[in-house]
Structure 1
């Protein structure tokens, strides 16, 4: 199981696991004992509207933030939330194939 914790305007834990393992662990409550979790969507189901809820967006330009690990947001350059979300994951060190 791979996991990646990212911090945007909310804290997210992204987990790669098979569904059977995930459901079984949730039922017995030991998957992430220190986290209060809410399942949002599978990666393939991530939409612009879902991603928008997790990213900083400029009130002046409507552009989404460019995130660099351990550096505060100061640049807004992405036109879509999905583009910005991909950049967050890339900046965190995970490479998506």
Structure 2
């Protein structure tokens, strides 16, 4: 779900979704955690953020769902785009909680 949501956001909300656009997905797996980063090509006024939506809204809940599933979510801005990094810890990680 995290891969799908972050990839869709890059395509739908940034220059990554334009013709010849692209985004970069990085995945790191260790005994303690899985880290996933998606870097887009930017082209938007602001960085991705969790938004409060009313019950009737059809969009805008994705990053909130990612934040509810992942143990850590960080957003980094650069001149070339945004990177959203998530970490999901194993259940036995000291800072983790079962998902």
Q: What TM-score do the two structures reach when normalised by structure 2?
A: 0.27
Q: What TM-score do the two structures reach when normalised by structure 1?
A: 0.28
Larger % of strand: which?
Answer: 2
Q: Which protein has greater RCO, CA pairs closer than 8 Å, 6+ apart?
A: 2
